[in-house]
Amino acid sequence: MNNDPKHKKRRPHYANYWRAKWRDKREAMSSHLDALNTAKIMKADERVRQVQAITHMLPTEPMTATRLRDQVAENWNSVYGEDLNSTRAWCLVRLCIGRGLFIKDKNSMYTVGEIH
């Protein structure tokens, strides 16, 4: 790495830059970070509500995680017209599991729960 001719041309590390920003503008940085976190939470809640709107289309019997993922992706594609691949569908299912929309039983099967 040190033999690389571009090594000496690299830009300096900016950790001190951000430390100085936080030190000088703590209120502005803090409020911006809070706004970003709030927007992220609201977007996740919206995605869970979108999945909750299509849960009536899911089978009523308990499902394995992979079947649940595939069913959510298939119904999402048919209702919203967005191509939801298996990776994105699994992330969406995990979000819904964390929010209590899908409940895992003792046999590792998932059913639809209720969000208040």
User: Is residue 31 over pLDDT 90?
Assistant: yes
Give, to the nearest 10 degrees, the angle between helix 65-80 and helix 86-98: 110
State the maximum Cα–Cα separation within the chain, in Å, rounded to a whole number.
Answer: 63
> For 36-84, what is each residue's pLDDT tens digit?
999 999 999 999 999 999 999 999 899 999 999 999 999 999 999 998 9
Q: Is residue 35 part of a domain?
A: yes
> For 6-23, what is each residue's pLDDT tens digit?
666 666 677 788 889 999
> If you average pLDDT over residues 90-99, what whole number do you get?
95
User: Is residue 90 over pLDDT 90?
Assistant: yes
Q: Is residue 52 part of a domain?
A: yes
Q: How many domains does the chain have?
A: 1
Query: Taking all residues of the chain, what is their mean pLDDT, rounded to a whole number?
Result: 89
Q: What is the 3-state secondary structure (H, E, C) of 79-108?
A: HHCCCCCHHHHHHHHHHHHHCCCEEECCCC
Q: Is residue 3 part of a domain?
A: no
Q: Is residue 5 part of a domain?
A: no
Residue 81's CATH number: 1.10.10
Q: Look at phi and psi of residue 13 and say left if phi exceeds 0, alpha if psi is from -120 to 50, else beta.
A: beta
Q: Which structural domain, as residue segments, surrounds residue 106?
A: 13-112
For the four alpha carbons of 55, 46, 84 and 98, in that order, the dihedral sign comes to negative
